[in-house]
Each structure stands twice: as structure tokens, then as C-alpha cells.
């Protein structure tokens, strides 16, 4: 029995029953469970034991969870609780979402119509604007970290997962232990690939540009290579193709907003998510794309 399965059926912190494994990552394992006092179904992320013993990392793990809990944004997954178990396991408790990731949808449908893509991604861009205002750069934006669920009215709501937690992996000890690069090569900004320590919101703008490109074109801007190093070198050395070179059917206004998000130098991209949001909305309006969405609240100054 593996370390993940060993917890099944056990209690965590005397109130969470661990029922099944939802996923495994470099930092921890995510379970479906239940708060036995309230009978609310939850997701529980438990930090791997080797990381739970590193005090600086542990402090940052809980600080990010605390920041997330304070956001209370409709397009960011809710953090409900956090703590340590009697065996010193560090955990955070999240709302349990039902639905599918954007990655699963794109695997099934390959690409989305512009209006459908923007209905999903505009609320996420707005949520990232709020996250950045709290001083957090996500660092691992990708379709797998965008989850599509429904509210009580049956409206589809995109939820941003795992923001802020990714930067814990920048710790050199963890990089050595995992033997892996922080983030996902196909979606990482060039400056993140170079190991820049002072990443800005423009790094997440690049990643969101890649997600938009993938959703609209049906493929990544840079060819996928089984050797991640080859892909990294391709991204570092070559400019991203223009979206309409790959997908000529994408309207020009929207394509221009995506192209600007994928400029190699962060100084020449949209500076932040608000600029990206404004550019996408302006492009959509120029193209006649209906992006009206009653579930999305735009930041001040965005019309």
C-alpha cells in the first residue's frame, strides 16, 4: 500500500475523514473527504512529509493558504481550514468542486469558439488581477489549474486552483529532491524559465496568453517536444508565432490582444491582468464577440 492509500478511511485532525485520492503532485496529495461534524464534503491537500519538516517552507505554505482564505473571490477556490495533525502532517482544506478542468475540456473538444473561451477565461483574468493585488504571482497557470464547476443556478463558474502555492517549489532543496522544473514548460514565461527571482504580474500574463492561444488555436504556440529542455530552448530563443498564423479563423482584435501577451520581453507585454483584460474586451468588442457574463465582476475602471 502506497503512502497515499495508507490514509484512506482515516481521520485527520479529528474532524476530516479521508475518503479517496483526487490527485498527486510534487508537493502533496489531494484527497476527497468529509468534515464529520458538519458532513460537508471537502478536498484536503496534505503536504508530503519531507516538506512538512522544513519550517520556512511550512510557514510559507500556511501563509499562502491564509491569503487565499482571505480573498473570498467567486473564481478562486475557497480555502476553508488549515492546520497540523497529531503526526505533524500539514494540510489545507478546500471546497470540493464537481465538474472538469479546462484541460479535460480542451482534450475532448480540442479548441473553443472565441465567445466560449472568453466566458471561461475573462473571469479568471479578473480573479488574477485581485490575486496580484495581494502580492501573489501564480507561477503555474495552465488549463489543469482552471476548474469548471456550476453554481446553484446552473451557471458554469471557472475556478482558479493552486495560486501562490507553486512558488514554494522555488526552494532549491525541493528542486534538487524532485528533479523537476518549477511550473509547466509549455506555459512558463521566458523569464521564469531563466530562473528570475523578481517575477512580476507580466509573467502570469504570458501564461494566460498561452492558455488563450491553446483554447483558440487548439495547440500550444510552441510545438510540444518529449524533451522539456528542447521546448524550453525553443521558447527562450524564438518569438511566439502570431495567433492568426496558426488559427486564421480567430478574429483579429482578439488575436492581437493574445499576441501582445506573448511578447518575449515582459516590458513589451501587457503589464498586468487589468491591461490584458482591457485589451481582450476591446478586441472582442471590435470583433463583435458577445462577452456579457452576469457572473463576472470587473475591476474598477474596466468597462
Distance between CA atoms of residues 273 and 289, nearest Å? 20
Sign of the alpha-carbon torsion through 162, 164, 166, 171? negative
What is the value of pTM for the model shown?
0.87
Pick the CATH number of 100-287 from 1.10.510.10, 3.20.20.70, 3.40.640.10, 3.40.50.300: 1.10.510.10
Distance between CA atoms of residues 244 and 57, nearest Å? 43
At residue 269, the 3 state secondary structure works out as coil
Please check whether residue 187 is in contact with residue 173, taking contact to mean a CB–CB distance below 8 angstroms: no
Sheet strand arrangement including 146-150: 100-101, 146-150, 156-160
Distance between CA atoms of residues 75 and 65, nearest Å? 16
CATH number of 5-95: 3.30.200.20
Please check whether residue 148 is in contact with residue 100, taking contact to mean a CB–CB distance below 8 angstroms: yes
Phi, psi (rounded to 5 degrees) for 80: -100, -30
Annotated domain spans of the chain: 5-95, 100-287
Question: Tell me, what's the pLDDT at 163?
Answer: 57
State how far Cα 268 lies from the chain centre: 23
Sign of the alpha-carbon torsion through 236, 239, 243, 246? negative
Our answer to whether residue 140 is catalytic in this structure is yes
pLDDT tens across the length of the chain (303 residues): 567 788 999 999 999 999 999 988 777 889 999 999 999 999 999 988 888 888 877 887 787 788 778 888 999 999 999 999 988 889 999 999 999 999 999 999 999 999 999 999 999 999 999 989 888 888 889 999 999 999 888 899 999 987 545 454 444 333 333 334 445 778 999 999 988 878 899 999 999 999 999 999 999 999 877 777 888 899 999 999 999 999 999 999 999 999 999 999 999 999 999 999 999 999 999 999 988 764 555 544 444
Distance between CA atoms of residues 114 and 217, nearest Å? 10
First to last CA, the chain: 55
Distance between CA atoms of residues 203 and 187, nearest Å? 10
Q: Spell out the alpha helix ranges (H) of 218-251.
A: 228-237, 243-246
Catalytic residue among 86, 87, 140, 162: 140
Nearest to 188 by CA among 243, 228, 246: 228
Nearest to 117 by CA among 143, 137, 153: 143
The three cell numbers locating residue 66: 491564509
Distance between CA atoms of residues 195 and 293, nearest Å? 37
Please check whether residue 225 is in contact with residue 231, taking contact to mean a CB–CB distance below 8 angstroms: yes
The CA–CA distances, whole Å, from 14 to 34, 35, 37 equal 11, 9, 10
Q: What is the helix (H) or strand (E) element at residue 158, kind and residue range?
A: strand 156-160
Distance between CA atoms of residues 147 and 145, nearest Å? 6
Amino acid at each position: 500500500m502506497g503512502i497515499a492509500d495508507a490514509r484512506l478511511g482515516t481521520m485527520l485532525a479529528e474532524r476530516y475523514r479521508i475518503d479517496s485520492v483526487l490527485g498527486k503532485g510534487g508537493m502533496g496529495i489531494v484527497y476527497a473527504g468529509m468534515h464529520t461534524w458538519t458532513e460537508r464534503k471537502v478536498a484536503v491537500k496534505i503536504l508530503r512529509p519531507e516538506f512538512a519538516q522544513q519550517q520556512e517552507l511550512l510557514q510559507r505554505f500556511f501563509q499562502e493558504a491564509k491569503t487565499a482564505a482571505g480573498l473570498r473571490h467567486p473564481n478562486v477556490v475557497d480555502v476553508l481550514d488549515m492546520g497540523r495533525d497529531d503526526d505533524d502532517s500539514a494540510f489545507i482544506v478546500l471546497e470540493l468542486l464537481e465538474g472538469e478542468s479546462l484541460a479535460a475540456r480542451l482534450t475532448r473538444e480540442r479548441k473553443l469558439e472565441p465567445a466560449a473561451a472568453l466566458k471561461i477565461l475573462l473571469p479568471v483574468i479578473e480573479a488574477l488581477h485581485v490575486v496580484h493585488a495581494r502580492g501573489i504571482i501564480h507561477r503555474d497557470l495552465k488549463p489543469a489549474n482552471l476548474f469548471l464547476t456550476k453554481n446553484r443556478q446552473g451557471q458554469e463558474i471557472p475556478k482558479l486552483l493552486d495560486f501562490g502555492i507553486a512558488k514554494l517549489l522555488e526552494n532549491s532543496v525541493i528542486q534538487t529532491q524532485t528533479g523537476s522544473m518549477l511550473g509547466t514548460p509549455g506555459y512558463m514565461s521566458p523569464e521564469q524559465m531563466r530562473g528570475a527571482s523578481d517575477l512580476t504580474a507580466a509573467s502570469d500574463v504570458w501564461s494566460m496568453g498561452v492558455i488563450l492561444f491553446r483554447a483558440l488555436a487548439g495547440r500550444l504556440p510552441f510545438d510540444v517536444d518529449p524533451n522539456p529542455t528542447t521546448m524550453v530552448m525553443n521558447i527562450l530563443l524564438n518569438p511566439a508565432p502570431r495567433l492568426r498564423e496558426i488559427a486564421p479563423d480567430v478574429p483579429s482584435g482578439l488575436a492581437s490582444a493574445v499576441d501582445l501577451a506573448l511578447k518575449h520581453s515582459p516590458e513589451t507585454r501587457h503589464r498586468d491582468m487589468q491591461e490584458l483584460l482591457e485589451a481582450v474586451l476591446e478586441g472582442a468588442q471590435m470583433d463583435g464577440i458577445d462577452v456579457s457574463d452576469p457572473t463576472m465582476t470587473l475591476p474598477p475602471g474596466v468597462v
